[in-house]
């Protein structure tokens, strides 16, 4: 293994032509511009920042990872740090290298390794990189424009600076996803606006100034965001548009960019709150991380990034115990804990809202969950606990059951109802002695009462007669509408 790695590093120092030949077809705008200024810097420092690592199909409960980053064939990692857990955010850049500006385009290779008796590479790539059997990520960074292409590119369907092992269609290869960024520094100037020296000349700006949070064209969004996503920072743009049709305008994508949203890749944000238990010795009603990861992974398979706020932006509040919430009580909780009693709260139309409670009543009977507003739903955790013995007999478990019903109710927020799918919310699909249990057996979705509490997925419509393509019919913009039943 050591000999193989030594040979790989030696080959990368040469920067073989094979890596330069590996190129995505979406790079027409990445050609190097040759016009330069007399005082153009000879050298620039290329910086690679890994923002977040998330495990997807890694079995260990508390896995340990480390990174390898090669810039222009050079091992540029600052120090070999270990990252523990299935989800880790990294505050500081992990690698940098000073290169000659005239190099034009340079390769950058990112690898994620899982520690063990024998360290193994995790799959974070599209399967096209010539390294680690396609599990690595290889991009080509343009020193002039500050953009890159290869395994990731601007307008990529799952996000610019976001890659995952699911992109190759294989889901059991220690798959992980990472969010990253690449930018450069010149003249040792600490600028954070992401614009290169050439960019600032092109825009008629002072190359020695930092325009990080400056909205040069006064269109409501600062220059760094516009430059990163292909908009001119000096020309007014109408950012009320929603290019990826996920319900978030460009203004809202910028507001949520600190949590890795992308204007050209679908994002769903959900704030989740909890309920206190009736007695101090009882477990509170929460949404465990294990359940969150199951739902996030299901969406990741379809290039949709699900962001669950359980405390990083106002989520994670505990409401007082109530043994059975009514619709009016749920709306009062939404108004107080989600909207903060402000009808113009910026989160309206940006976040969905979920409440993990004890029990609810729907149609005069206990229920596992319900949608109670166009953007809100609740899950009865005690209902799941009461029936867990039966769910275990059917092959489920606590984390799966909570994740499944949570995803079911979110599905209503996203436009899946019995009105467009006869197998959805059909009371006659619950038990084997009911005819619709068999009639809609091919509808393998948590929206089907036959599979809710057991399956953490929507159907893709490929299973035969009476199936329904949930994934193809999701409407991520629905929560911007009005609650027509209230």
Per residue in 137-170, pLDDT tens? 999 999 999 999 999 999 999 999 999 999 999 9
Across the range 98-113, mean pLDDT stands at 94
What band does 190 get if pLDDT is binned at 50, 70 and 90? low
Across the range 3-17, mean pLDDT stands at 36
Q: pLDDT exceeding 70 applies to what percent of the chain?
A: 90
Q: Look at residue 192 in the predicted model and tell me its pLDDT.
A: 72
Q: pLDDT exceeding 90 applies to what percent of the chain?
A: 79
| HEC assignment per residue over the chain | CHHHHHHHHHHHHHCCHHHHHCCCCCCCCCCCCCCCCCCCCCEEEEEEEEEEEEECCCCCCCCEEEEEEEECCEECECCCCCEECCEEECCCCCEEEEEEHHHCEEEEEEEEEECCCCCEECECCCCCCCCHHHCCEEEEEECCCCCEEECCCCCCCCCCCEEEHHHHCCCCCCEEEEEEEEEEEECCCCCCCCCCHHHHHHHCCCCCCCCCCCCCCCCCCCHHHHHHCCCCCCCCCCCCCCCCCCCCCHHHHHHCHHHCCECCEEEEEEEEEEECCCCCCCCCECCCHHHHHHHHHHHHCCCEEEEEECCCCCCCCEECCCCCECHHHHHHHHHHHHCCCCCCCCCECCEEEEEEECCEEECCEEECEEEEECCEEEEEHHHHHHCHHHHHHCCCCHHHHHHHHHHHHHHHHCCCCCCCCCCCCCHHHCCCCCHHHHHCCCCCCCCCCCCCCCCCCCCECCCCCCCCEHHHHCCCCHHHCCCCCC
Q: Look at residue 270 in the predicted model and tell me its pLDDT.
A: 98
Per residue in 441-473, pLDDT tens? 999 999 999 999 999 999 999 999 999 999 999
**Lowest mean pLDDT, pick from 33-37, 61-65, 122-126, 342-346:** 33-37
Across the range 212-235, mean pLDDT stands at 94
Across the range 97-121, mean pLDDT stands at 94
Mean pLDDT of the chain: 89
Q: Look at residue 191 in the predicted model and tell me its pLDDT.
A: 62
Ordered domains of the chain (ranges, CATH): 2-188 (2.60.40.150), 250-480 (3.40.390)
Q: Look at residue 193 in the predicted model and tell me its pLDDT.
A: 83
Check whether 36 has a pLDDT greater than 50: no
Per residue in 363-395, pLDDT tens? 667 788 999 999 999 999 999 999 999 999 999
Task: Name the residue with higher pLDDT: 126 or 21.
Answer: 126
Per residue in 42-88, pLDDT tens? 899 999 999 999 999 998 889 999 999 999 999 999 988 999 999 99
Q: Look at residue 229 in the predicted model and tell me its pLDDT.
A: 96
Q: Look at residue 366 in the predicted model and tell me its pLDDT.
A: 76
Per residue in 302-359, pLDDT tens? 999 999 999 999 999 999 999 999 889 999 999 999 999 999 999 999 999 999 999 9
pTM of the entire structure?
0.91
Q: Look at residue 22 in the predicted model and tell me its pLDDT.
A: 40
What band does 186 get if pLDDT is binned at 50, 70 and 90? confident
Per residue in 256-315, pLDDT tens? 999 999 999 999 999 999 999 999 999 999 999 999 999 999 999 999 999 999 999 999
Q: Look at residue 212 in the predicted model and tell me its pLDDT.
A: 85
Q: Look at residue 6 in the predicted model and tell me its pLDDT.
A: 41
């Amino acid at each position: 293994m050591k000999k193989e790695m030594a040979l790989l590093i030696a080959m990368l120092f040469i920067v073989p032509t094979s890596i330069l030949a590996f190129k995505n077809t979406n790079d027409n705008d990445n050609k190097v511009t040759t016009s330069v200024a007399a005082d153009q810097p000879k050298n620039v420092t290329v910086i690679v920042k890994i923002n977040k690592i998330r495990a997807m199909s890694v079995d260990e409960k508390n896995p340990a990872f480390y990174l390898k980053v090669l810039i222009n064939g050079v091992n540029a990692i600052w120090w070999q740090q270990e990252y523990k857990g299935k989800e880790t955010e990294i505050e500081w850049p992990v690698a940098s290298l000073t290169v000659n500006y005239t190099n034009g385009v340079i390769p950058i290779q990112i690898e994620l390794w899982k520690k063990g008796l024998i360290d193994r590479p995790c799959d974070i790539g599209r399967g096209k990189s010539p390294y680690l059997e396609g599990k690595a990520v290889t991009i080509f960074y343009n020193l002039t424009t500050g953009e890159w292409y290869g395994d990731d590119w601007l307008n990529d369907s799952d996000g610019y600076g976001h890659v995952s092992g699911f992109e190759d269609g294989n889901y059991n290869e220690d798959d992980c996803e990472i969010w990253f960024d690449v930018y450069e520094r010149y003249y040792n100037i600490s600028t954070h606006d992401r614009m290169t020296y050439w960019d600032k000349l092109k825009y008629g700006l002072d190359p020695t100034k930092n325009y990080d949070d400056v909205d040069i064209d006064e269109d409501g969004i600062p220059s760094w965001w516009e430059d990163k996503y292909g908009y001119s920072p000096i020309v007014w743009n109408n950012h009320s548009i929603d290019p990826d049709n996920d319900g978030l305008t460009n203004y809202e994508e910028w507001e949520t960019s600190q949590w890795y949203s992308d204007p050209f890749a679908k994002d769903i944000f959900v704030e989740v709150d909890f309920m206190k238990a009736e007695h101090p010795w009882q477990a509170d009603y929460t949404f465990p991380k294990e359940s969150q990861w199951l739902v996030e992974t299901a969406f990741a398979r379809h290039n949709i990034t699900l962001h669950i706020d359980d405390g990083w932006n106002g989520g994670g509040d505990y409401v007082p115990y109530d043994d059975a919430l009514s619709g009016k009580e749920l709306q009062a909780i939404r108004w107080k804990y989600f909207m903060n009693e402000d009808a113009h709260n910026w989160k309206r139309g940006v976040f969905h809202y979920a409440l993990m409670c004890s029990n609810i009543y729907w149609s005069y009977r206990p229920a596992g969950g319900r949608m109670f507003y166009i953007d809100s739903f609740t899950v009865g955790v005690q209902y799941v606990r009461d029936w867990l013995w039966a769910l275990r007999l059917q092959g489920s478990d606590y984390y799966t059951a909570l994740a499944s019903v949570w995803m079911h109710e979110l599905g209503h927020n996203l436009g899946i109802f019995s009105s467009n799918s006869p197998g959805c919310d059909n009371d006659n699909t619950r038990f084997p002695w009911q005819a619709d249990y068999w009639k809609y057996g091919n509808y393998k979705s948590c929206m089907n009462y036959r599979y809710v509490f057991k399956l953490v997925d929507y159907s893709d419509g490929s299973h035969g007669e009476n199936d329904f393509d949930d994934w193809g019919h999701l409407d991520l913009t629905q929560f911007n509408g009005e609650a027509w039943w209230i």
